Structure 1
Amino acid sequence: MGVKTAVIGLGIMGQRMLEHMGRHAGYDVVALWDPSREACAAAAKLAPGATVTDGPDAAIAAADLVYLACPPEPRKTYALAAAGAGKAVFLEKPLGVDVAESEDLVARLEASGVPAAVNFTQAAGAALTDVSRAAKAGEMGDLVGVDVVLTYPAWPRAWQVAADWLRFRAEGGMTREVLSHFLFFTSRVLGPLEVVWAKPSYPQDPALCETQLLARLETAEGLPVSILASVGGAQPDRQEFTVKGTKTSRRITDFYVDARSDGGEFVEVRERPADPRAASLKAQLDDLLLLIDGKPNRLATPAEALAVQKLVETMLAS
C-alpha cells in the first residue's frame, strides 16, 4: 500500500494530480473533498476507491498526506489543520496572496515538524537539476543574468477557464500562476532576489488581474533578472526562461524543453519525454516520498515559496 492521501480541491490541478497519484505505486488516495459537487463527481471517477467526504476535516483525518489544490485563500486553514493532526502537507502554489498570513503559515508549519512542500513543478525536473549542476560546476562560465518572457493570447488560458478565480486580481493572474515558477527556478540557480522596479498594467475593471508586467530583479551581487510578460494578440503561448553564462547559456521553454547555446543556435540537450506532464509529476511525486521519509529531496520548501510570494506581491503592487 502507498501513502494514504487526501486531495482537497478537485479542480484542474486537483484532478490532474489525482490522476497521476493513481498511476504511482507510492500513493493510495483514500479521501476527496471539494465544495463543488460536480468537481467531486468528476474526481471520484478518477479514484473510484476513494471516499468523497462530507468536509475537509474528514478528508484530513482519513489520510497521512494531504494535498491541497484549492485556491490560495482557504489553503492556510486546511494546511494548519493537517499539520496540527500530524499529517504531511503538499501545497499548490502560490503559497498565498497575503504576505503576513503566509509568514505565519510557514512559521507554524516549521514549528509543527511535519513534512511540508510546495508544488513548483520544475523542482524535481531534469532541467532545473541539470542547469543547477552545470552552473555550480562552472560549465556555464560566469553567470550574467536571466531573461524571462511570457506571452499569452488570453488569460486564463483555454484549459484554465473553469478555474474562474484565475482571472481576478484578488488571487489570480499570470504572475502568481506562471511567473512564480520561473522566479523559483531563478532563485535556485542565482540565489535570493530583490525587486528593483516593476510596472504591472491592469484592465479598467479593478477586479481583473494584470495583463502586462515589466520588471527588473537583481541578486545581491547585482546580476539582473529581466521580465517581460503580456496577454493579448493572435499568438501561441510562449514561456521562455534563459539562464545566461559567459561560456554557455541554457534556455527552458514550456517548463521542460532544455536547450544549450555556446553562442550559436540553442540545441536541445536531451530527448523530449513522450508525456512531459507525466514525467514532471512523477518526478515531483518521487521526491515527495523522499520528503515524507525524511530524506534529501528537491521539492520547494514553504520558506522558498514564501520568498517567491514576496517577489510576486511586490511586483503586482508596484
Structure 2
Amino acid sequence: MTIRTAIIGLGIMGRRMLEHLEKHPHYTVTAIWDPDKGACDAALTLAPDARLVPSADAAIQAADLVYLACPPIPRKTYALAAAASGKAIFLEKPLGVDVAESRDMVERLKAFDVPVAVNFTQAAGAALADIGSAVKAGDLGDLVGADIILTYAQWPRGWQQTADWLRFRSEGGMTREVISHFLFFSERILGPLTLVWSQPDYPLDQDLCETHIAARLTSAQGQIVTVMGSIGGAQPDRQELTIKGAKASRRVSDFYRDAQSTGGDFTALHKDDADPRAVSLKAQLDDLALLCAGKPNRLATLDEALRVQVLVEAMLAGHRTKSDATTA
C-alpha cells in the first residue's frame, strides 16, 4: 500500500515535492491545500488529478503523512494539529524562527510519538554518505574544520521570486534557507557546534533580511567552522561547503557536487546526474518511507533541526558569547 500524503503549502517547495511524490511508487497524494489561490492553481497545473481541499484540517484528515511546506511561522500550528490526529509529519526547514516556540513544538511533538522528520535535503544524499564514510575510514586524516561560503547576485534568487516572504527579516534570508543546510551537514560530520561569534549586516529597511553574514563556530574537538555569505554584484551563484582534513578535503557545491583535494585543485569525484535535485529528492522520499514504517533512516531529526535553528537565530542576532548556542 502507498502512503497517503497531504501537502500544506503549495509554494516553490510544495509544488516541487508534489511533482516528485506523484512519481514515487511509495506515495499517493490525497490532498493539497494553500490559502493562496494562485499557488493552488499552479499546483493543479503540475498535478491535475490532485485533490484540492478547503482547509489545512481537511488536508490533515485525508492523509497518513502530512508534508508542511508553508512558511516557518504557521508550521507549529499545523504540525501539532497533524500530530494530535496521529499523522506522520515531514517538516520543511527551518524548524521555525522563534527558538522558544520551536522548543515547545519539539517537546509536544515528541509526546505524541508520531514519526517526524525535517527536510534538510542532503540528509539522505550521496555526498553526506560518502564523506561520512571517508571520514570514518580515515581517508581525510584528522579533521581540521569546515568552510561554508555563499555568494548570490540577488536574494531571493531568480527562481524564488514568487516566494516573497524569503526577502523579509521575520522569516526569510539566506542564513535560514541555505546556510542552515550546510550547518546540518557540518554537524553530521563534526558533531554539535557552538557559535563563537557572528556579524550579520542588514539593509536600511529594517523589514528586509540580511545581505551579508560572517560567523565562526567550533566543534567539541576544537575544529573551526567558518561561514561567509554575501549578496550583490554581477556574479554566478556560489554555495559550497568544504570539510577540511589533514590528508584530504571534500567540497560539496550546489548541494550535490562532491569534489576532493589533496592539496591541489579540487577534482570531481562523480559525474553530474542529469537532474541532481530529482535524485536527491527521491533519496529523501525513500528514507521518508522508512521513517513512516518505523525503520532506521537518515533524515534530520527534530533535535538536529532545533540545534541548527538555535545556531542560525543566534547568528542572525549578532553573537559574541558561547551561551545558548551550545544546547538545544
Q: Same fold (TM over 0.5)?
A: yes
Per the alignment, in what secondary structure is the counterpart of residue 197 of structure 1?
Answer: strand
My pick for the range that moved more, 264-273 or 86-95, is: 264-273
Instruction: Give, in whole Å, the separation in 2 of the partners of 1:305 and 1:165.
Output: 21
Does the 8 A contact of 1:30 with 1:49 survive in 2? no
Per the alignment, in what secondary structure is the counterpart of residue 20 of structure 2?
Answer: helix
Instruction: Give, in whole Å, the separation in 2 of the partners of 1:290 and 1:269.
Output: 28
Is 2:150 aligned against 1:150?
yes
Match of 2:80 in 1: 80
Instruction: Give, in whole Å, the separation in 2 of the partners of 1:271 and 1:111.
Output: 44
Match of 2:141 in 1: 141
Per the alignment, in what secondary structure is the counterpart of residue 186 of structure 1?
Answer: helix
Match of 1:46 in 2: 46
The residue identity in structure 1 corresponding to 2:307 is A
Matches within 5 A, 1:23-34: 23-34=23-34
Match of 1:58 in 2: 58
Structure 1 residue ranges without an equivalent (≥5): none
Any idea what the Cα deviations from partners look like across 1:130-170, whole Å, max 9, x if unmatched?
A: 11111122111000010011000000001101000000000
Match of 1:7 in 2: 7
Deviation, structure 1 residue 42: 1.5
Per the alignment, in what secondary structure is the counterpart of residue 139 of structure 1?
Answer: coil
Per the alignment, in what secondary structure is the counterpart of residue 109 of structure 2?
Answer: helix
Q: TM-score of the superposition, structure 1-length normalised?
A: 0.99
Instruction: Give, in whole Å, the separation in 2 of the partners of 1:36 and 1:172.
Output: 19
Matches within 5 A, 1:51-200: 51-200=51-200
Per the alignment, in what secondary structure is the counterpart of residue 203 of structure 2?
Answer: coil
Per the alignment, in what secondary structure is the counterpart of residue 31 of structure 1?
Answer: strand
The residue identity in structure 1 corresponding to 2:210 is E
My pick for the range that moved more, 203-212 or 47-56, is: 47-56
Is 2:224 aligned against 1:220?
no
Does the 8 A contact of 1:240 with 1:253 survive in 2? yes
Per the alignment, in what secondary structure is the counterpart of residue 140 of structure 1?
Answer: coil
Match of 1:238 in 2: 238
Structure 2 residue ranges without an equivalent (≥5): 319-328
Deviation, structure 1 residue 269: 1.1
Does the 8 A contact of 1:29 with 1:47 survive in 2? no
The residue identity in structure 1 corresponding to 2:130 is D
Per the alignment, in what secondary structure is the counterpart of residue 247 of structure 2?
Answer: coil
Match of 2:315 in 1: 315
Per the alignment, in what secondary structure is the counterpart of residue 291 of structure 2?
Answer: helix
Any idea what the Cα deviations from partners look like across 1:246-305, whole Å, max 9, x if unmatched?
A: 111100000000001111211111121111111000000000001111111110011100
My pick for the range that moved more, 262-271 or 229-238, is: 262-271
Deviation, structure 1 residue 49: 2.8
My pick for the range that moved more, 250-259 or 260-269, is: 260-269
Instruction: Give, in whole Å, the separation in 1 of the partners of 2:137 and 2:307.
Output: 25
Deviation, structure 1 residue 109: 1.2
Instruction: Give, in whole Å, the separation in 1 of the partners of 2:46 and 2:164.
Output: 22
Deviation, structure 1 residue 46: 2.3
Per the alignment, in what secondary structure is the counterpart of residue 222 of structure 2?
Answer: coil
Deviation, structure 1 residue 69: 0.3
Q: Report the aligned-residue RMSD.
A: 0.8
The residue identity in structure 1 corresponding to 2:32 is L
Does the 8 A contact of 1:119 with 1:300 survive in 2? yes
Instruction: Give, in whole Å, the separation in 1 of the partners of 2:310 and 2:177.
Output: 14
Deviation, structure 1 residue 108: 1.1
Instruction: Give, in whole Å, the separation in 2 of the partners of 1:195 and 1:73.
Output: 24
Match of 2:293 in 1: 293
Instruction: Give, in whole Å, the separation in 1 of the partners of 2:138 and 2:125.
Output: 20
Does the 8 A contact of 1:143 with 1:246 survive in 2? yes
Deviation, structure 1 residue 48: 2.7
Deviation, structure 1 residue 214: 0.7
The residue identity in structure 1 corresponding to 2:291 is L
Any idea what the Cα deviations from partners look like across 1:24-75, whole Å, max 9, x if unmatched?
A: 0111001010001111122123223322111000000000000000000100
The residue identity in structure 1 corresponding to 2:292 is I
My pick for the range that moved more, 88-97 or 267-276, is: 267-276
Any idea what the Cα deviations from partners look like across 1:173-227, whole Å, max 9, x if unmatched?
A: 0000000000000000000001101000000000000000011000112110001
